[in-house]
Structure 1
């Protein structure tokens, strides 16, 4: 049975995450400003309570979660500068996830499967998102977004390469979250009605990283 501290911190993460989903659905920006960064901070605390500091993979996991917390704080604003700040924090965070997954070992068959999934997703999403970013913000926006897409694809491949089902599923769900976010921000389909794409982004965002934490802690 998990120690009491792990149960308490995990429950705290769930409560804060669900509160964030409700705030996003109700477009309650004041509540969201508090709970959005708090959710990943709670998840990082739960990871530490679960022994993340005892392994290299766990240490990189906590680094990734803290960078995600910083990225969430940046993205509470809508300005281009804050968007690029959040993009940068998440980009480095994905590199920390890659380092985390690399320490867990590589299954060649799973790695190849992840590569196929990443390639298919990049072809579909990139065709819609990259031209839109170039039109709206020029090369100054399109280049960072393209770099981010390459790094998150690497995170997906590395996550699948571990051969761990929870980690692979979490990485895929995390990528799904960023895909919906990118499409909503730059190439929104006409039938998408706010705030539901935003809710989908946050639900998959928290679920994906929760699965990654569970998978890494079980394996590390």
Structure 2
């Protein structure tokens, strides 16, 4: 991929939180009710660590890192929040998207980690941009095998759903594989209650308390 390089600038400003665009985020669910202490801290002290944003062509600031802080600031009626505004260093849309996804995944995993299903969805989005497995592996500091498994799982809702039930990436990859085979033969997709999901559960139960479905005991987790 060839990118057109542009000057990079950084500006720290105070902004009304309601004027920011939350934008796309790998963390697709934010439950502020589950973290009352965090919300109370924002109400009492404000946003202590600046939100990172890019300025869109129309001037609107789009959040890259700090979705929870922004939503908490809105919920607690903060007048302004600190925002670190960065200019884009490339005009290539794929490179911009890759940088956003990579930063969001790395930042969140260094704090309150994303769920494995959310990681899988993020990896799938990267791969769907046409980014090579090797590049994704380097961006996220994970093995290429894990990238491939996460990518396969991330593209299938039923496979992501089964991760939330405590199974491993390998087990969810089996769901993705058989789900694809099932739908390719004209069967309808019905989400987490699909017969393939039941098959994986049954097989996992037979193999010593869901220890494995693929690749030996244990299993890869994010």
Q: Does the alignment reach a TM-score above 0.5?
A: no
Q: Which has the higher contact order (CA 8 A, sep 6+)?
A: 1
* TM-score between the two structures when normalised by the length of structure 1: 0.29
More helix by share: 1
- Larger gyration radius, structure 1 or structure 2: 2
